Structure 1
Amino acid sequence: MDKNPVEPNELVLTRDFYAPRELVFKVWTDPKHFGNWWGPKDFSLNVEKMDVRPGGMFLGSQTSPEGHVMWGKFVYQEVNGPEKLVFVQSFSDEEGNTVRAPFNPNWPLEIINILTLTEENGKTSLTLRGGPFNATEDERAAFEGMRPNLEQGFEGTFDQLADYLASQQ
């Protein structure tokens, strides 16, 4: 049984990258790399803190092209490089305190993400499973209502990741 349960209607995304698994894992866990590709297109990411170990935290801020700043955090649950990374993602303030999303008062306070990486013939397959964690019915409904936007957003983020990986080889 999977010890990282995701609630019903999880989001499952897969993408192949033409890069070694060790490199793909590194750009997810090294602050020198992570800030160069994570997030929406044309946003910048400032990595304030990145302590990738069980119980450790990523804390950072994203700035939109218009200058709007949003803070977020990951709390790492499992780190098993280079094959698995599990983290709970939340919006936060500058100190890392969990806050409600600025765009929807019913957005889940916590989203669990389970990242797995497998490599075959120099190509790494990434699977990201996730969804609301410790969520209310209203929070699950808000997540489900945003599913197409989430899929589109991750597609753009994964495009940036592919470009960044190509630049690192």
Structure 2
Amino acid sequence: MTTTEGQLRIIRTFKAPRDLLFKVWTETEHLSKWWGPKGSTLHVAKHELKPQGLFHYRLTNPDGHQMWAKFIYREIDAPEKLVFLNCFSDEEGNTVPAPFGPEFVDFPLEVNHDISFAEADGGTTLTITVGPHNATPKQQAFYQSMFESMRQGFDGSFDELDGYLEELQ
């Protein structure tokens, strides 16, 4: 994990071809198998893989708690790059504040995800850079205070992804 200019960068190499790794990030049937915290289930309400297209989904945690979120695709350059905004949403797809209580009031409404996929020794190195988009200075500061928690969240999701990729190969 590295941080630069208020953004979090995580680099991880997966034992999978680049084309496959890109597919599991962009195809509905794959995203529903691994995206989200361990033990959660994902319901896809809408998925349009195109610039300004929407991936709108609901995550249900093992305790039954549900939350809605969405990606708004900004750039798709298969199989090398994927850029999207990630936002919490309501069931209709409207952007809403983070649903974690008043202590998260300063969490940014939009978080940009810039992902690159590079071939590496029979696998693929994924570099993901995430940071606030259209955020106030207070939101940017809060976001930076969450880096360690977010790193742990990505590590958990990427562990799920590793397991899913093993099933596919």
TM-score by length of 2: 0.94
CA distance in 1, matches of 2:147, 2:24: 25
1:24-73 Cα shifts (integer Å, max 9, x gaps) = 00000100010100111111111111111101000000011111110000
Select the structure that is richer in helix. 2
CA distance in 2, matches of 1:119, 1:51: 26
RMSD (Å) for aligned C-alpha atoms: 1.0
- The correspondence of residues 4-83 of structure 1 with structure 2, limited to 5 A, is 8-83=5-80
Structure 2 residue ranges without an equivalent (≥5): none
Identity, in percent, stands at 47
Structure 2 counterpart of 1:96: 93
Cα offset for 1:137? 1.2
1:79-130 Cα shifts (integer Å, max 9, x gaps) = 0000100000100001110000012111100000000000133210000001
TM-score by length of 1: 0.94
User: Aligned with 1:151: secondary structure?
Assistant: helix
The structure 1 segments of at least 4 consecutive aligned residues displaced by more than 2 Å after TM superposition are none
Structure 1 residue ranges without an equivalent (≥5): 1-6
Counterpart amino acid of 1:166? E
CA distance in 1, matches of 2:26, 2:150: 22
Structure 2 counterpart of 1:111: 111
Structure 2 counterpart of 1:160: 160
User: Aligned with 1:35: secondary structure?
Assistant: helix
CA distance in 1, matches of 2:154, 2:115: 13
CA distance in 2, matches of 1:74, 1:149: 20
User: Aligned with 1:154: secondary structure?
Assistant: helix
CA distance in 1, matches of 2:87, 2:125: 25
Counterpart amino acid of 1:71? W
